[in-house]
Amino acid sequence: MSKQSALADAFRQTVYKVPGHGDLVVQNLRSVLEQIDGDLESDRYGSGKIIEDFQDKMAAYLGKEKAVFLPSGTMAQQIALRIWCDQRGVAKVAYHPLAHLEIHEQDALRELHHIEPVLLADKDSLIRLKDVENMPEDVSCLLLELPQREIGGQLPSYEELEAISQYCRERGIKLHMDGARLFEITPYYGRSAAEISSLFDSVYVSFYKGIGGIAGAILAGDADFVETSKIWKRRHGGDLISLYPYILTADYYFQQRVDKMQQYHEDAKSLAGLYNDCHRITTRPVEPVSNMFHVHIDVPKEQLEPLLIQCYAETGIGLTSYLVEAGESSCAYEVSVGDRYALLPKERLTGALQWLDQKLKES
């Protein structure tokens, strides 16, 4: 079994955990299957009612002609970028320095697809219209991640997004959305997923972030694009004989949670407010635009870790299971608000943060 840190252990033992929907356990799949007719036929290599119905449903939800279900977002986005590069005949794309493709995929875009990325904007900032205006005009595709996860989940204004979209359209540059957290930003923009997606040529969405499924992704676009993406799905080794464990759970939890995104956003704003009232703590962004944000605490990791462990033991409230070092003497962690927050006794949460505030004030 993988080793757990002391902080993860302490977090695990708390009565109330603040982030997320719940533990990642087998029960999440089991409780979905208990509601499904056992005679329901498996999908087969991309065909069959389970997968076709879900693809149609998500294409409609995203306002695109077609959609394909893929095992992962990593696969979905490489495929999208490859198709747009092949179409324009230029193996060059643009994205943020902290894009998933750049930092979490072992250089796959270069190693598998021989595509060269152009990095836009400073790593601590959003991609702005001026960055787009200054990028080489021969890029085949610009990828925008909404919200930009690695900087706490930030968003440009909708007007700026429209301007970027228009700029790209006028120059024949395809615009692809890393919409891993698209569902989560619809309340902030006050627009439907389809409306936001209409600014993009291709859209990837994930089912294990705000939706809380087990794994899996949808890639949507026009019919030709999706047809070609199925060829690449096969090439990547993603055209499994059966994807139904992921599809059935994605569909189930989508229905359960997609209408709760407004609530998660409100809860994230409340929680960030509580954090920002503490000494030495700031959230990024200060006011979340989705269900997620980053917590920055101006204390070195080796000091903060025992403090949090003590906090969890005394209050029964689990704030985070991990810390990363951020700068010389501070640390950070990500918070995604989900179903757990509503079940949390708020006075106990407030108590835990007051306990922490007091310790941070003294230290």
Query: Do 169 and 244 form a contact (C-beta atoms < 8 A)?
Result: no
One character per residue 10-39, x = contact with a second copy (rule: CB under 8 A): -------------xxxxxxxxx-xx-xxxx
**Residue of the chain from 75, 120, 203, 295 that contacts a second copy (CB under 8 A):** 75
Closest to a second copy by CB, 41 vs 195, is: 41
Residues of this chain, 226-245, that bind a second copy according to CB under 8 A: 231-232, 234-245
Query: Do 152 and 293 form a contact (C-beta atoms < 8 A)?
Result: yes
Distance CA 263, CA 269 (A): 10
Closest to a second copy by CB, 232 vs 254, is: 232
Q: How many residues bind a second copy (CB under 8 A)?
A: 61
Q: What angle do CA 160, 165, 171 make, to 5 degrees?
A: 130
Residue 135's φ and ψ, nearest 5 degrees, are: -80, 160
State the pairing for strand pair 217-221/281-284: unpaired
293 binds a second copy (CB under 8 A): no
Distance CA 323, CA 297 (A): 10
Closest to a second copy by CB, 133 vs 227, is: 227
Distance CA 160, CA 288 (A): 18
Closest to a second copy by CB, 108 vs 344, is: 108
97 binds a second copy (CB under 8 A): no
48 binds a second copy (CB under 8 A): yes
Residues of this chain, 189-208, that bind a second copy according to CB under 8 A: 208
Instruction: State the minimum distance, in angstroms, from the CB of residue 170 to a second copy.
Output: 31
Closest to a second copy by CB, 71 vs 156, is: 71
Residues of this chain, 244-283, that bind a second copy according to CB under 8 A: 244-246, 248
Helix (H) or strand (E) holding 324: strand 324-325
Instruction: State the minimum distance, in angstroms, from the CB of residue 76 to a second copy.
Output: 7
Query: Do 290 and 184 form a contact (C-beta atoms < 8 A)?
Result: yes
With the C-alpha atoms ordered 90, 95, 100, 102, is the resulting torsion angle positive or negative? positive
Q: How many CA atoms lie within 13 A of 263 on its CB side?
A: 13
**Residue of the chain from 9, 56, 107, 277 that contacts a second copy (CB under 8 A):** 107
Helix (H) or strand (E) holding 70: strand 66-70
210 binds a second copy (CB under 8 A): no
343 binds a second copy (CB under 8 A): no
Structure token pair of residue 41: 């036929």
| Residues at the interface with a second copy (CB under 8 A) | 1-2, 23-31, 33-34, 36-42, 44, 47-49, 52, 70-76, 78, 104-108, 111-114, 208, 214-215, 231-232, 234-246, 248
